[in-house]
Chain A
Amino acid sequence: MSTLTAKTRDPAQAALDVTVLSGDGWCHPLRRGQVLRIVDLEGNQAVDTLFYALQDPGERYDACATMRAQGALYLTTGTTLLSSEGRPMLVITADTCGRHDTVGGACSCESNQVRYAIDKQWMHSCRDTFLLELARYEGRPTGPPLAKRDLTHNINFFMNVPVTPAGELTFADGISATGSYVELRAEMDVLVLVSNCPQLNNPCNGWNPTPVRMLVWDA
């Protein structure tokens, strides 16, 4: 685990301060230089997150390029989130959790059927939340409307998905405590797409999905 880093920004000075309930989505443009803090209000919550270049959403967060550039799986302070065009999108500037996942992807109705039981299709899932946010957002970003094909591999802030040296993928209990946060500085104008994970079939949310707080400060 990396060294934890905190920042002392004042929430009272934030340009935006919203709470996103579990099972809800959040789609928000972030301007270059703005700082986004995601606060895990009650701990052990997974926050599934994607980023798109605001002017050209065909350019988007690239999990593989990001991991490859830092030579490691887990995201923490100092990680540069790279786009599919190899450009820095955001930098993680503070992290009081220590490790974030970008291999585990987002839960979906369909993958819940595979992973847990065929009759789990009815439950809420992150990918449905992403799709609803994209459908609502249609027409607002530059370029063609975003669709399912645009749901690339996301970040799971606060989620712990260790890979062993033998190549086993495991879902470990969260390491995020009440009030843990991660802070990101935008290096370009980006669209932030969040699903505050509603998964009830595994311990990624400690079996109890809870709200998160989004704070945005201007440059």
Chain B
Amino acid sequence: MSEVFHRETLRGGQKWSRIVKRHQALRLIDASSGGGAGATCVAALLFNAADPAERYNMPDTLKAQFSAFLTAGRVLFSDMGHILASFTSDTCGWHDTLTGHQDAAGAAARFGSGTYQDLRNDCPRNTRDNVLVELVKHGLGRRDLHANLNLFAKVVTDEAGRFAWVPGNSHPGAYVELRMEMDVLVVLSNTPHPLDPATAYGPPPVALELRRVPPPAADDPCRVARTENGRGFTLTEGLFR
């Protein structure tokens, strides 16, 4: 494993964006100590850094892999048939992408209407406002807010399609690693999942690590997981010939 060239920790409520280059890996590590107020959850959006009109597409990703969630061996498809990133490691087993994110009204209903004036930097932050701020920094905006990933979070459905939040999906030290297959603008928000029933605001910290990794080999687990993924890699690698 190559050396980590960048490390930082996102506090609860913190947001982040950065262009992560092709064949760099972003590892997110649950840095909770257990017993905190809320469940670990990091909302994520991904864009082709060279052409942000191309972005993570939830339906295309799920349809191609016949799956309603993400874990190791799966890939994230853009709306243009390319692979933005691959799930190369995952010790959680399930990452939600169906249930979106919380906005200011939702957060106020859950956590009360704490203001900066009263609480300073402890006031609850919501995912939508966090992500919007980072999008605008890159010339994007609310029109670019599509279905996000909710890393570390698990939501299941019953036969009637009803959602159920699954507590305890993550644990201290759990991690997920995304290998970028093109230069990707990654936007993150360490804020509560909209279905997390916790009523006290306290997103646990999440550590980030960046390192360079080898390009996916011919027998890469994400490439061979499905023929659909193989075609996705063929189309994506064609961009860089």
**Binding between chains A and B:** yes
Which positions in A face B, CB cutoff 8 Å?
Answer: 58, 62-65, 67-68, 71-74, 84, 86, 103-106, 108-111, 113-115, 117-118, 127, 147-153, 162-163, 165, 167-171
A-B pair number, CB within 8 angstroms? 128
Nearest-neighbor residue (CB-CB) of A162 within chain B: B161
* Residues of B with C-beta under 8 A to A117: 231
- B18 contacts A by Cβ under 8 Å: no
Known contacts A167-B69, A169-B63; A114/B235 CB under 8 A:
yes
* Residues of A with C-beta under 8 A to B33: none
Which residue in B62, B66, B101, B235 is a CB contact (below 8 Å) of A103? B62
Contact check, B64 vs A115: say whether CB atoms are below 8 A apart: yes
Nearest-neighbor residue (CB-CB) of B78 within chain A: A110
Q: When chains A and B are docked, how far (Å) is the Cα of A86 from the Cα of B194?
A: 13
Q: When chains A and B are docked, how far (Å) is the Cα of A169 from the Cα of B159?
A: 12
Contact check, B147 vs A68: say whether CB atoms are below 8 A apart: no
Contact check, B68 vs A167: say whether CB atoms are below 8 A apart: yes
In chain B, residues 101-126, which have Cβ atoms closer than 8 Å to a Cβ of chain A? 101, 103, 105-106
Contact check, B68 vs A103: say whether CB atoms are below 8 A apart: yes
A159 smallest CB distance to B (angstroms): 11
In chain B, residues 133-177, which have Cβ atoms closer than 8 Å to a Cβ of chain A? 141-147, 156-163
B59 smallest CB distance to A (angstroms): 2
Contact check, A111 vs B147: say whether CB atoms are below 8 A apart: no
Which positions in B face A, CB cutoff 8 Å?
Answer: 53, 55, 57-60, 62-69, 77, 79-82, 94, 98-101, 103, 105-106, 141-147, 156-163, 194-195, 228, 231-232, 234-235
* Residues of A with C-beta under 8 A to B79: 108, 110-111, 127, 148, 151
Contact check, B194 vs A72: say whether CB atoms are below 8 A apart: no
Q: When chains A and B are docked, how far (Å) is the Cα of A111 from the Cα of B158?
A: 28
A73, A105, A111, A151: which has the most chain B beta carbons within 10 Å? A111
Contact check, B68 vs A168: say whether CB atoms are below 8 A apart: yes
What are 26 A-B contacts with C-beta separation under 8 Å? A58-B143, A64-B98, A68-B163, A72-B163, A73-B163, A74-B160, A84-B142, A103-B62, A106-B59, A108-B79, A110-B235, A114-B228, A114-B235, A149-B53, A150-B143, A152-B146, A163-B157, A165-B157, A165-B159, A167-B94, A167-B156, A168-B66, A169-B62, A169-B63, A169-B66, A170-B66
Known contacts A149-B53, A168-B68; A104/B231 CB under 8 A:
no
Q: When chains A and B are docked, how far (Å) is the Cα of A178 from the Cα of B105?
A: 42
Q: When chains A and B are docked, how far (Å) is the Cα of A153 from the Cα of B145?
A: 11
Known contacts A68-B163, A72-B162, A103-B62; A108/B81 CB under 8 A:
yes
Known contacts A68-B194, A149-B143; A114/B68 CB under 8 A:
no
Contact check, A111 vs B63: say whether CB atoms are below 8 A apart: yes
* Residues of A with C-beta under 8 A to B67: 167-169
Contact check, B59 vs A118: say whether CB atoms are below 8 A apart: no
B172 smallest CB distance to A (angstroms): 24
Q: When chains A and B are docked, how far (Å) is the Cα of A110 from the Cα of B234?
A: 12
* Residues of B with C-beta under 8 A to A104: 59, 62-63
Contact check, B147 vs A63: say whether CB atoms are below 8 A apart: yes
Contact check, A169 vs B58: say whether CB atoms are below 8 A apart: no
* Residues of A with C-beta under 8 A to B163: 67-68, 71-73
A192 smallest CB distance to B (angstroms): 18
Q: When chains A and B are docked, how far (Å) is the Cα of A170 from the Cα of B144?
A: 28
* Residues of B with C-beta under 8 A to A105: 57-60, 63
Known contacts A63-B147, A113-B231, A153-B146; A86/B103 CB under 8 A:
yes
Contact check, A73 vs B157: say whether CB atoms are below 8 A apart: yes
A15 smallest CB distance to B (angstroms): 31
Contact check, A169 vs B53: say whether CB atoms are below 8 A apart: no
B192 smallest CB distance to A (angstroms): 13
Which residue in A73, A110, A171 is a CB contact (below 8 Å) of B81? A110
Contact check, B81 vs A113: say whether CB atoms are below 8 A apart: yes
Nearest-neighbor residue (CB-CB) of A60 within chain B: B143
